[in-house]
Structure 1
Amino acid sequence: MSQCCDQMAYAIGADDLPVSYSPRLREWGIQYRDGVSINMIEYCPWCGKKLPKDLRDEWVERAEKLGLSLWDVEDHPEKFPPEMLDDRWWKEAGL
């Protein structure tokens, strides 16, 4: 997915900035200094554009239909269809 502006694209790709993007869940966030927690964001900090709705709930619903959970993806990614491990599932569904 292309980002909303050049500054956001740079921040997502930079190793030294705490901005993250999860293609699987279509979520943007700013990482806390603890390196684990993330504060989700709905607007680009640079251009102010509203970001697309995250797809966490939709992904979790699909995983549950397979008898899996969000937590399983970290420990057992092999249990998931490959397209659910990245952005293919929501792109193919037109979300």
Structure 2
Amino acid sequence: MLSDQETSLESFRKYSGLEYKEEEWAVAWIGMWSFLCNSKRGAKDALQFDPARSVLCDEYPELLKQACDTQVPIIYDPSTREFGVSVLDGGFSQISLRFDPWSGKPLPCSLRDEWFEAIEALGIDPWEERDKVPARFNDETWWKDDYVSEKCA
């Protein structure tokens, strides 16, 4: 029997590559499923839908479990350390989370600004040259290795 993570990864592989025509969007669940799969790319690429692979797992186990489940609209972006809830509007909008809904603990601050600063310091335009961004900046590696937590207020 497949684990939850294996089931989610299999579902992601099956549905994330599909392209839908306008009339096919009438089947809302399929559309939402695909959207959720695409929104979970960060968790899939960095964590392989396995919450235990995150350095934050000990502190936020249930939140990361939900972020790795393609049937739950919780999103985790490991590169910027951001958690959110998908807005199911067909785009990639999300509502940022500041507290873990399961434990009530404050979440670590976002590192979005620091991520952009680090990439630009390498002489890379993160908008135009995304393919030149070093792999270590696509997951938790850069901030767990380089980041000093006192920078968060």
TM-score range with shorter-chain normalisation? 0.7 to 0.9
Residue in 2 that maps onto 1:80: 133
Whether the aligned pair in 2 keeps the contact of 1:4 and 1:44 (CA below 8 Å) is: no
Matched positions, count? 92
Q: RCO higher in 1 or 2 (8 Å CA, sep ≥ 6)?
A: 1
Q: How far apart are residue 30 of structure 1 and its match? A: 0.5
Q: Give the counterpart letter for 2:62 in structure 1.
A: Q
Q: How far apart are residue 44 of structure 1 and its match? A: 0.7
Whether the aligned pair in 2 keeps the contact of 1:3 and 1:9 (CA below 8 Å) is: no
TM-score under structure 2 normalisation? Answer: 0.53
Q: How far apart are residue 9 of structure 1 and its match? A: 2.6
Residue in 1 that maps onto 2:76: 21
Q: How far apart are residue 19 of structure 1 and its match? A: 0.2
The 1:81/1:9 distance shift into structure 2, 3 A limit, reads closer
SS at match of 1:39: strand
Kindly name which structure, 1 or 2, has the bigger radius of gyration based on alpha carbons: 2
Higher percent of residues as helix? 2
Q: Give the counterpart letter for 2:78 in structure 1.
A: P
TM-score under structure 1 normalisation? Answer: 0.82
Whether the aligned pair in 1 keeps the contact of 2:83 and 2:97 (CA below 8 Å) is: yes
- Mapping of 1:54-93 within 5 angstroms? 54-72=110-128, 76-77=130-131, 79-93=132-146
Q: How far apart are residue 69 of structure 1 and its match? A: 4.0
Higher percent of residues as strand? 1
Whether the aligned pair in 1 keeps the contact of 2:78 and 2:139 (CA below 8 Å) is: yes
The 1:39/1:27 distance shift into structure 2, 3 A limit, reads same
Tell me, in whole angstroms, the C-alpha distance in 1 between the residues paired with 2:127 and 2:58: 27
The 1:69/1:48 distance shift into structure 2, 3 A limit, reads farther
* Percentage of pairs with the same residue: 34
Q: Give the alignment partner of residue 99 of structure 2, picking from 19, 43, 46.
A: 43
SS at match of 1:10: helix
The 1:69/1:5 distance shift into structure 2, 3 A limit, reads same
Residue in 2 that maps onto 1:12: 67
The unaligned stretches of length 5 or more in structure 1 are none
Cα deviation digits, residues 19-67 of structure 1 (max 9, x gap):
0111100000000012410111110112111011111010011122233
